[in-house]
Structure formats: C-alpha cells, structure tokens
Amino acid sequence: MPLHIGDLAPPFTLPDTQGEPVTLADFHGNRVVLYFYPRDNTPGCTKEAIAFRDAYSAFQDQNIVVLGVSTDDAKSHEKFVNKFDLPFPLLSDAGGKVAETYDSYGLKKFMGKEYLGISRNTFVISPDGRIEKIYKKVKPENHIAQLLQDLV
C-alpha cells in the first residue's frame, strides 16, 4: 500500500555497517531523510551517495539525519562507506522488507530483464514520525540540491 504525505512512517530496525541495530524511533524529534538506493558501488548510487556526503554539513546544520538503505550486506556497505568517506549510516535491508513497506521494492526492468529490487526513492520524515515529503524514482544528479531547497 503506497505511503502518502501525513502518514505515520513505518517503523523499522535494520543493521548498520557494524551490524548494530538502527531503529527509526532512535531519531524521534529529528527530521530524517531516508533514501533507498539499488546497490553499493554502482554509478548512480555512488553519485547519489557522494552528493549526500558533499552536502552533509547542510543537513547537519538543519539537524536532519540522513540514512541510506539498500539490500546490500553490512560488509558491502562498510566498503562503500570507507571508499567514499560517507559520514552517514547505511543500513542493510536483506530481502527488501523495509523497502517494501516504503513502496520502494518490487519488479524492475533493465536491458530487457525483469528482477526484484529497490527503487531510488527518498522519504523525509518529520520530527513527530510522519511522512513529510516523498521523492519517487529520483535522479541522482539534481536530487540533493532539490532536497536542500525543499527542506531549508
């Protein structure tokens, strides 16, 4: 069932790069940018992660938490974080269950093949835990600039 602006954000607990559980409730009282991306170390996902990294201080200045989610495991995330010096947590959603609750996991097509995977979507969650903004099928090139413009 698709999420709408004003809905309560679905709760989740996912492991970070160290295998430590991260829960949405941990950030209650903060605005959260929750972004779903298909795979570590792929061109679009790398571009998006680097853009978040480069703008991270602007998010911090606004007390906004950034969380990235894909189906990659903690080891893959750790390599990705270290390779690109990412200052925010990447969470492992094995099987895509959390992505599914955020309407960000399903059938995709690439070069004539169909497969299940994560869609590049971003959700802004308000300090009281409600969906504030939804960005579907974002383009990494201009997404972070648009987010900052909308949030600041």
Catalytically annotated residues: 45
User: What are 54's two structure tokens?
Assistant: 């480069």
CA dist 42 and 116 (Å) reads 17
CB distance 32 to 22 below 8 Å: no
Residue given tokens 């399903």 in the structure block: 106
CA dist 101 and 104 (Å) reads 7
Residue given tokens 């080891």 in the structure block: 75
